[in-house]
Structure 1
Amino acid sequence: MSVPYHHGNLRNALIAEGRRALEEIGVHELSLRYLARKAGVSEAAPSHHFAGKEGLLAAIAADGFRDLAALRATIAASDETALSKAYRMMRVYVEFAQRYNGLFELMVGPRIVARDSYPELSTEITKSFRLFASSVEQFALEKQWEEQSLTLVTHAAWSVEHGLATLILSDRMPRSDKPLSIDQVVEFSISMFLSAVAAGASSLEDVIRQLPDSETAPKWGLKSDL
């Protein structure tokens, strides 16, 4: 079925059709010609809105990050606790990946090589990440982590959510020989990470001191004014 559109919104119609196509045929089969046919326009029409297939894919990925950022903005604007916001920020990333498998693969995968060449995409990526990072940082600050450690805390949180999403989408988690539900693993993994943040930097230092090469490990001390 063709996507209904009027003069001026063909670009949005093609992006919407492209998102549907990602879930049905995948990124490799998606083309400007395919979308033109779906939208009921000439094969040349999409080229007026996108700089080739990669330009199209960048626009679709930007649209995905825009939707993810909107979900995160709602969480950020809520009256929930810092802990709850951090948890939901991480969980919504995994849920978004599960719901939009093909789109998510495009958003985070290697298909778009020159991401920085597309300002719209860069802007939406940054917006989504900042909403996520701010919530994790706020929770860490409540638990007396030093500001110099916040970037590492955020990257650790990112590793958890992204690791969960990619393992789930690649059908590698949970293992077939382990009787676990995906929801169990997601809830436990995010909660375990946040419990480590809640325990504070001193707890992490205790663990590090027991690890090999602990003498060269960086220290994550508590705020100096406490």
Structure 2
Amino acid sequence: MLNTVNLRGVSRGVGQHHGALRSSLIDAALELVAESDPEKVTLRAVARRAGVSAAAPYHHFPDKDALLAAVACDGFDALGSVQSAVLGGPGSASDRLEELARQYVLFAMRHRTHYRLMFRTVPTEVGGDEGVALREAASAAFGRLSDAVREANPRLTVEEAGRRAVLGWALAHGAVDVGSWAAALRPDHDTDSLARDVGRAVRDMAVQSA
């Protein structure tokens, strides 16, 4: 099943107001990426799917990479909302870190097309305003994780917390990739159990002595 959840809840249509055009193009790009490979998506195809002229996308995006970066930025913003909700919730610092990692896996599995684009390229390789926005959103997401690691283990220095955050993110990211592969082979694959296991592993890694 295609995963093309509209994270902003914006509808599109012919003759839409200029202010909604950008959102419509992003949604159309998301749908096309879900149906094929990101490299095969063109601005002309996006315009056709959004029901606008072939020239319309250029009012907001200089090229396809800028448009796909905007889709990725939406994904990081949505992940950030999930992170903020977890970090503002109840429980100990280590409980929140465990839940943060668990929710990361669930987010990735539920929003697979966004997730693909979030890690399609290194944010520093994207230019223009969309590149700036993507770098800021990605950095903020990592910063929340790094802060959560240090809160769970105050004995860590900022640098050590950052290193463990990288390891935690890598663990979760790898679990998502393998989990997606397993889900394709086994319909009975339990995503919830995978998410819980990743949460515990990230928590255990963070609270170990420096």
Give the TM-score range, shorter chain. 0.7 to 0.9
Pairing 1:113-132 to 2, within 5 Å after superposition: 114-115=125-126, 118-132=131-145
Pairing 1:113-152 to 2, within 5 Å after superposition: 114-115=125-126, 118-141=131-154, 144-152=155-163
Distance 1:168 1:30, change over 3 A: same
Deviating more after overlay: 77-86 vs 118-127 = 77-86
Matched residues, number:
195
Mapped to 2, the partners of 1:192 and 1:111 lie a distance apart of 26
Mapped to 1, the partners of 2:22 and 2:28 lie a distance apart of 10
Deviating more after overlay: 122-131 vs 23-32 = 23-32
Other-structure match for 2:194: 185
Offset from partner CA, 1:68-98 (integer Å, 9 cap, x none) = 1111111122233212211121122211211
Pairing 1:154-165 to 2, within 5 Å after superposition: 154-165=165-176
Mapped to 2, the partners of 1:111 and 1:127 lie a distance apart of 15
Other-structure match for 2:104: 93
Q: Which structure is larger by alpha-carbon Rg, 1 or 2?
A: 1
Identity within the alignment, %: 25
- Structure 1 unmatched ranges of 5 or more: 202-219, 221-226
The one-letter amino acid paired with 2:140 is: K
Offset from partner CA, 1:26-74 (integer Å, 9 cap, x none) = 4133221112112211101101110111111111111111111111111
Under a length normalisation based on structure 1, what TM-score does the superposition of the two structures give?
A: 0.75
The structural deviation recorded for 1:158 is 1.3
Offset from partner CA, 1:110-165 (integer Å, 9 cap, x none) = 48781365101111111111122211221011xx3444522222122112111111
Pairing 1:199-214 to 2, within 5 Å after superposition: 200-201=208-209
Mapped to 1, the partners of 2:205 and 2:122 lie a distance apart of 35
Under a length normalisation based on structure 2, what TM-score does the superposition of the two structures give?
A: 0.80
SS of 1:28's partner is: helix
Mapped to 2, the partners of 1:21 and 1:187 lie a distance apart of 32
Is the Cα contact below 8 Å between 1:27 and 1:102 reproduced in 2? no
Other-structure match for 2:32: 21
Other-structure match for 1:224: none
Mapped to 1, the partners of 2:127 and 2:95 lie a distance apart of 32
Structure with larger RCO (C-alpha < 8 A, sep 6+)? 2
Q: CA-atom RMSD, angstroms?
A: 2.6
Mapped to 2, the partners of 1:127 and 1:112 lie a distance apart of 12
Mapped to 2, the partners of 1:129 and 1:95 lie a distance apart of 17
- Whether 1:83 aligns to 2:83 is no
